[in-house]
Amino acid sequence: MNTSTHVNEKIYDLAIIGGGINGVGIAVDAAGRGLSVFLCEQDDLASHTSSASSKLIHGGLRYLEHKEFRLVREALAEREVLLEKAPHVIRPMRFIMPHRPHLRPAWLIRTGLFFYDHLGKRKKLLGSNNVYFKADSPLNAAITQGFEYSDCAVDDARLVVLNAVQAREKGANVVTRTRCISAHRENEFWVVHLESKQQGKYQIKAKALVNAAGPWVAKFIREDLHLKSPYGIRLIQGSHIIVPKLFDGDKAFIMQNDDRRIIFAIPYLDKFTMIGTTDREYSGDPALVQISTEEIDYLLSVSNAHFKKQLKHQDIISTFAGVRPLCDDESDNPSAITRDYTLALSKVQKGEAPLLSVFGGKLTTYRKLAESALLQLKPFFPQMQGKWTAHHSLPGGEQMGTVADLAEKIQQQITDAPDALTNRWASAYGSRIWQIVGAIDSVTELGQNFGHGLFAKEVDYLIDQEWAVLSEDILKRRTKLYLEFEPDQVEGLDEYLVESHKRRSQEIAA
Ligand SMILES: Cc1cc2nc3c(=O)[nH]c(=O)nc-3n(C[C@H](O)[C@H](O)[C@H](O)COP(=O)(O)OP(=O)(O)OC[C@H]3O[C@@H](n4cnc5c(N)ncnc54)[C@H](O)[C@@H]3O)c2cc1C
């Protein structure tokens, strides 16, 4: 690693810290409005909160109980906007809520669902209805009726990567494995000091700094900028377990627990069910968060109270945990802290460069958050163009039709490709799949086979176009094949990546 600091003379309009959904969302919007944008992510894109979510684009039915009408209205409307922008990584999903009258009366749930159906514009998503369970239901026999409504499921990490790809296509410079170690104001600029795992230390200048560091937002202000944070942050851990398919069909369940919290059981990647989430105060390093035994017991007990199939610890295939960076509203109950976002623009003297910090937020509202961020920055960039993201597809979402249509088209060209592969490709890459497969007509032309339908051509694309470096980037965040890969298959992929990076470095040096 190079240890000397070099100065990059380019002066950007915006330097954005953080490659989670909020950082990349602001980057793509700003770049599309004509601003020059630099974004740094200390690890891989989406490697923290933005890949540890419940993977829902949802209004948040339970937020109605906390009277978060602004947030719910905005989030409900965003479901349709995002579904249109990214029909490959986002899909409509029906949610079944078993009725447990001692927890919430039917009239209360019906009222909530009425608001849910009507608060935001709904074109594609179906409205709510009552459901009655027969003997073949996967639920305990005592649960005989409930309600059904619509929201959407999303591949959270791919949503982040696609926004980063689009930001780059609009001219942004997106760098990963590069930490902002400090920044200070020098007259009308921010001087941003960076440490890259590949390039060593360097610095850039920008006219405005955007702090989208998620769980690190307040620490970054205090420790790296040596300023006072305008808001407190509450770090609230949420964890999930993944088990073999608990029920058939493509509908999810939303279960009410005796503590009045709700837990989802969501069909995941055809073979699995994802169960979560929890809510508990967290005080450690957000990068080290892990599910606890109490959280596992809690999630199993809620599932077992609802489903006929009783789960034990040994049924768990995998777990994941994340930390919600919530704006501190001094609520006693972690579940009740606002999920809405707050943007803090630092007070600036005339001629001083602004700092905009992002507190809180949801995957669902990232696009609206980005629009609000740019509205706040508009006075500093009067030449900035207007809003544009609502009606532009994300990469791969353009001219793809449905996932099923696209999967069929791929199979017409690559006739020996199995359904599982063409479906995975269609829902991960949308119409960008043609950049990976080109004109080939057999899987034998896809290069080295690492197992479970992962071939060299896809891996090369992920390295060249999607910032993938390690096998974890590819298996956990770009493809979600990590649940299937055996250790020796991961080793095979690791070896290929080492060789591939060596070859690329030699080509650059030559
Ligand atoms: C359990 C759980 C379930 C959730 N479920 C949902 C859901 O179903 N639907 C929904 O809409 N929302 C959901 N959310 C909320 C959503 O996931 C978050 O609001 C969102 O991902 C936050 O994104 P972010 O960009 O602010 O933070 P992050 O994704 O954490 O990104 C911040 C990034 O900044 C980087 N960074 C920090 N400091 C530096 C530095 N100095 N230099 C460079 N990089 C730096 C970090 O490495 C990190 O990658 C859930 C959250 C959790 C925890």
What is the pLDDT averaged over residues 104-128?
Answer: 91
Tell me the best of 55, 362, 476, 477 to mutate to test the pocket of ligand 1, counting ligand atoms within 8 Å of each CB and taking the most. Answer: 362
For residues 71 and 116, is the Cβ–Cβ distance under 8 A? no
| Ligand 1 center–CA 468 separation, angstroms | 19
Q: Is 40 in the pocket of ligand 1 (CB under 6 A)?
A: yes
Give mean pLDDT, residues 373-395: 97
Residue 342: phi and psi, rounded to 5, are: -130, 130
Residue range 320-335: mean pLDDT, rounded: 83
pLDDT at 5: 60
Is the CB of residue 17 below 6 angstroms from any atom belonging to ligand 1?
yes
Query: CB neighbours of 394 closer than 8 A, spacing ≥ 6?
Result: 85, 86, 89, 159, 162, 163, 166
Asked if residues 14 and 38 have their Cβ atoms less than 8 Å apart, the reply is yes
Per-residue b or e along 374-406, where b marks 16 or more CB atoms closer than 10 Å to that residue's CB: beebeebbeebeeeebeeebbbbbeebeebeeb
Q: Give the CA angle between residues 109, 110, 116 to the nearest 5°.
A: 90
Residue 158 has pLDDT above 70, yes or no: yes
Domains 6-48+158-229+339-391 and 88-156+234-324 share a fold: no
Quickly state the pLDDT bin for 101 (edges 50, 70, 90).
Answer: confident
Q: Which residue has the higher pLDDT, 510 or 110?
A: 110
Alpha-carbon distance of 310 to 306, in angstroms, equals: 9
3-state secondary structure of 184: strand
| Domain map (residue ranges) of the chain | 6-48+158-229+339-391, 88-156+234-324, 403-504
Q: Measured from the CA of 361, which atom of ligand 1 is nearest?
A: 19
Average pLDDT over residues 216-232: 92
Per-residue pLDDT of 391-436, as tens digits, reads 999 999 999 999 999 999 999 999 999 999 999 999 999 999 999 9
Say if ligand 1 is within 6 A of residue 25 CB.
Answer: no
Residue 41 Cβ inside 6 Å of ligand 1? The answer reads yes
Report the DSSP pairing between strands 200-211 and 6-17: parallel
Assess whether the previous peptide bond of 277 is cis (omega < 30° from 0): yes
Could you tell me if the CB of 303 is within 6 A of ligand 1? no
Residue 6 is predicted with a pLDDT of 65
Tokens of 126: 């179906």
CATH hierarchy code of domain 6-48+158-229+339-391: 3.50.50.60
Index of the ligand 1 atom closest to the CA of residue 286: 30
Distance CA 145, CA 225 (A): 55
Position in ligand 1 atom list of the atom nearest CA 323:
53
Which candidate, 357, 62, 343, 112, places its Cα nearest to that of 212?
Answer: 357
Q: What is the pLDDT of residue 1?
A: 42
Residues 239 and 280 sit within 8 Å (Cβ to Cβ): no
Question: Each residue of 9-56: pLDDT tens digit?
Answer: 689 999 999 999 999 999 999 999 999 999 999 999 999 999 999 999
Of the pLDDT bands very low, low, confident and very high (cuts 50, 70, 90), residue 3 is very low
Place of tokens 């964890």: 239
- Among protein residues, the one with the nearest Cα to ligand 1's atom 38 is 213
Residue nearest to atom 52 of ligand 1 (CA): 53
Q: Is residue 286 lining ligand 1, measured as CB closer than 6 Å? A: no
Phi, psi of 186, deg, nearest 5:
-125, 100
For ligand 1, whether the C-beta of 338 sits within 6 Å is no
Query: 163: which 2 tokens?
Result: 């926004």
How far apart CA 507 and CA 510 sit, in angstroms, is 5
- Tens of pLDDT, residue by residue over 187-222, are 899 999 999 998 899 999 999 999 999 999 999 999
Extended strands (E) in 159-295: 173-175, 178-186, 189-196, 200-211, 233-244, 252-256, 262-268, 272-276, 280-281
Question: Percent of the chain beyond pLDDT 70?
Answer: 98
C-alpha 243: how far from chain center: 21
User: Mutate which of 156, 324, 335, 339 to test ligand 1's pocket (most atoms within 8 Å of Cβ)?
Assistant: 324
Between the CA of 23 and the centroid of ligand 1 the distance, in Å, is: 9
Token duo for residue 95: 């949610």
Task: Quickly state the pLDDT bin for 2 (edges 50, 70, 90).
Answer: very low
Q: Higher-confidence residue: 408 or 71? A: 408
**Tokens linked to 92:** 């409509």
Can you give the three-state secondary structure of 15-51, one letter per residue? EEECCCHHHHHHHHHHHHCCCCEEEECCCCCCCCHHH
Q: Is the CB of 334 under 6 A from ligand 1?
A: no
pLDDT band at 350 (very low <50, low <70, confident <90, very high): confident
Among 93-102, 149-158, 330-339, which is the least confidently predicted range?
330-339
Residue 362 CB less than 6 A away from ligand 1: yes
What are the tens digits of pLDDT across the range 250-276?
Answer: 999 999 998 889 999 999 999 999 999
| Cβ 479 under 6 angstroms from ligand 1 | no
Radius of gyration of the chain (CA): 23
Report, as an integer, the average pLDDT of 75-88.
97
Cα-to-centroid distance, 394 and ligand 1 (Å): 19
Q: How far does residue 20's CA lie from ligand 1's centre (Å)?
A: 5
Instruction: Give the pLDDT mean for 289-297.
Output: 98
21 lines ligand 1 (CB under 6 A): yes
- The rounded Å distance from CA 49 to ligand 1 centre is 3
Q: For the packed helices 69-85 and 366-377, what is the interaxial angle rounded to 10 degrees?
A: 100
Please state, in angstroms and rounded to a whole number, the distance separating the CA atoms of residues 159 and 91.
Answer: 12
- Assign 321 to helix, strand or coil: strand
CA 268 from chain centre, in angstroms, equals 15
Q: Could you tell me the CATH superfamily of domain 403-504?
A: Alpha-glycerophosphate oxidase, cap domain (1.10.8.870)
Ligand 1 atom closest to Cα of 219?
Answer: 38
Please state the separation of Cα 19 from the chain's center in Å: 10
Q: Domain 88-156+234-324: give its CATH superfamily.
A: D-Amino Acid Oxidase, subunit A, domain 2 (3.30.9.10)
